[in-house]
Amino acid sequence: MNKTDSDKNSQAFKDFIGIITTLRGPNGCPWDKEQTAESLRAHLIEESYEAVEAIEENDPGHVREELGDVLLLISMISQIYSETDEFTINDVIDEISAKLIRRHPHVFGDEKVENAEEVLKNWDRIKIDIEGRNADSSVLDGIPGSLPPLERSYKIQKKAAKRGFDWPDINGPRGKIIEELKEIDIAVQEESSEDVEGELGDLLFSVVNYSRHLGIDPALALGRTNRKFEKRFKYVESKMQKDSIPMSPENIEIMDRYWESSKKETPFHT
């Protein structure tokens, strides 16, 4: 990046922050002025997911738009904290810049690494030895409890695997899925809703483990399937409506035929 590009980026960011400051100012927007960091939490999560979806759609224009929404919320929350002299958006940028330099001595210093695995090991070492962070009593302690259950189970398993607590190959988690399915059947036969819930949780955890061994993020895989189902279901809805046939259990065979047609008429790609 040359100096001209850098200057343009700097000015664009200053103009952007100026807009946010105005929105929060005395003559700003009533909605923006009444927001708090707490009220924007859900929006931050939602916009982050929308950015991920745009990336999966491979639509650069949509990605640009959604990243802008994420940046807006990060900057707005920073502005809220700056109004009580806690920190500013510049402090946020300075801190992450310093952290990136500190945790990449193989790029900004003289340290040598052979591969990405060594980079991650150094990352953890630097957090404790240089930044003075307390080593967690458990490797799982650093996983946020606020993560959605699917994402959290994936993180838990990855952390445990780093300590050697893992199946030696993919046959382990695959066999566990079969085992858990049998245990659900037993719980259903015994009509114990509490046991069914517990066994279903074990099954889902095993599926996540199987996904991890396949090198697939289960949350991304499930998100793709959700979108695929939605697209095909809407196709079925439109066909049934066009034929004036109600969507009801007695018409399931007709809906099934349209469902099969949807696979050809509306192929799903990401």
CA distances 260 to 183, 232, 243, Å, are: 32, 9, 17
Tokens for 153, please give them.
């189970």
Looking at the whole model, is its pTM more than 0.85? no
Listed by start position, the domains of the chain span 3-102, 107-135, 149-216, 220-265
Q: What pLDDT does residue 2 have?
A: 64
What DSSP assignment string belongs to 10-69? HHHHHHHHHHHHHHHSTTS-HHHHH--TTTTHHHHHHHHHHHHHHHHTT-HHHHHHHHHH
Task: Please give the CATH number for the structural domain made up of 3-102.
Answer: 1.10.287.1080
Q: What are phi and psi of 149, to 5 degrees?
A: -50, -40
pLDDT by residue for the chain (270 residues), tens only, comes to 566 777 778 889 999 999 999 999 999 999 999 999 999 998 998 999 899 889 988 899 999 999 999 999 999 999 999 999 999 999 999 999 999 998 898 999 888 888 888 888 887 788 777 777 666 568 788 788 888 899 999 999 998 998 899 999 999 999 999 999 999 999 999 888 888 999 999 999 999 999 999 999 999 899 889 989 999 999 999 999 999 999 999 999 999 999 999 988 766 654
Third-level CATH fold of 149-216:
Helix Hairpins (1.10.287)
Tokens for 211, please give them.
């996904």
CA distances 3 to 8, 85, 97, Å, are: 9, 32, 19
